[in-house]
Amino acid sequence: MSGDTSIYAAQGFGGQLGMGRAPALLIVDFVQGFADPGVFGGGNIPQAIAATVDLLAFARQQGLPIVHTRVVYADDGSDGNAFTRKVPGLLRLTEHDPASQIVKALSPRTDELIVRKRLPSAFAQTGLAAWLAMRRVDTVIVAGCTTSGCVRASVVDAMGAGMRVVVAADCVGDRAPEPHEANLFDMAQKYADVVGSGDVRGMLAALV
């Protein structure tokens, strides 16, 4: 262990949360605009989407509650906020804009929840926490983008809502490797278990 990580271990960070008995899968913002480097995408996001296809299929087989998120603003931008002041281009993500549509490879089924959000976290000003609580979910498995933005914000808020969090490391992506790796490391130290999607499937299979 390097000096950079040994201080975390010495201070008690990096513990394991483990998988509870009632997990759900949360797929954050895998929409066409974030899959396209010419809009809001880039980096390893396409690879993360590809890895999530298999994870989603397995979660469906296991009967998990499944949630997809989209960033959606009003057509006239009247619900813009501090997030859109910082990144004005986000206002183009309206209900019917192609960039706001979930990628076809991960198209939701009719029994899966679609959360429309206007802030980074899937929990901020949405009904997601209540929806999960009604289903007695105790663990949120997270895929999506971006690792340093909406994924991280959702992970922190899921923990704040009292749930264990498991990040599928190969199923989250960012525009550049540096913020991706740094945020995976930080989430693993403080907020979540960060493991590969193969390990996630193994953990889910062990619950049956």
- Do the bridges between strand 139-145 and strand 193-195 make them parallel or antiparallel, or are there none, so unpaired? unpaired
* Closest of 164, 161, 171 to residue 195, by C-alpha: 171
Bridge partners (DSSP) of residue 143 are: 27
| Catalytic choice (150, 184, 192, 195) | 150
Cβ contacts of residue 34 below 8 Å, gap of 6+? 40, 41, 45, 145, 146
Query: Does the active-site annotation cover 150?
Result: yes
Q: What are the tokens at 130? A: 């209540």
DSSP for residue 5: H
User: Residue 198 burial by CB count (10 A; 0-12/13-18/19+): exposed, middle or buried?
Assistant: middle
DSSP for residue 81: -
CB-side exposure of 163: number of CA atoms within 13 Å?
29
Positions marked active-site: 150
